[in-house]
Amino acid sequence: MFEEKNIVLASSSPRRKELLEKAGIAFGVRISHADEDFPGNMPVEKVPEHLAVKKAMTIQRQSNEGELILAADTIVVLDDKILGKPESDAHAKEILRLLSGKMHRVITGVCLLQGRKMIGFSEVTKVFFYDLAESQIDYYVANYHPLDKAGAYAIQEWIGLTGIEKIEGDYFNVVGLPVSRVIKEIEIF
């Protein structure tokens, strides 16, 4: 699907790659090493799209004419505070304790860039965790090593099966890419 679009995924995320493959989208991969800085006064809702644009523009500098660059960035937001990727197992447990029994937002910003044409958008999904027992948090961190995941969890892993009460919005957005919206945007790009 979309072979004529010559799509380049600007991401090292195995989850994004898997989602696009499952959707039947042909693409190449180039990893963006754009910095993830953003203005301190930027509203959190704007941060992922801002970072996705930076990633896309970094890849565009090294791309061939005609390539459609797809970049994305996902953040987890609790009470208007961005919870990044944990720095250690202890930090992962701390983040999961914060999420326990609460609703948080997962926001993925996406940028499609080809030549001078660019589309950017964000998708928001609300995730509601049950109260997590300390033993559940310990088990998850010890067995799933969530250090490379925003918010210290992956919804498609054990914690998602056992600890999430409900979600409002796109499940795949929480995995890392709102695939159906991406497809719709590529179709009209």
What is the DSSP pairing of strand 7-9 with strand 68-78?
Answer: parallel
Q: From CA 125, how far away is CA 25, in angstroms rounded?
A: 23
172, with CB counted inside 10 A (0-12, 13-18, 19+), is buried
For residue 73, indicate whether it is catalytic.
yes
Contact 154, 144 (CB under 8 A): yes
Q: From CA 28, how far away is CA 20, in angstroms rounded?
A: 11
Q: From CA 67, how far away is CA 27, in angstroms rounded?
A: 10
Active-site position among 37, 73, 80, 131: 73
Residues with catalytic function:
73
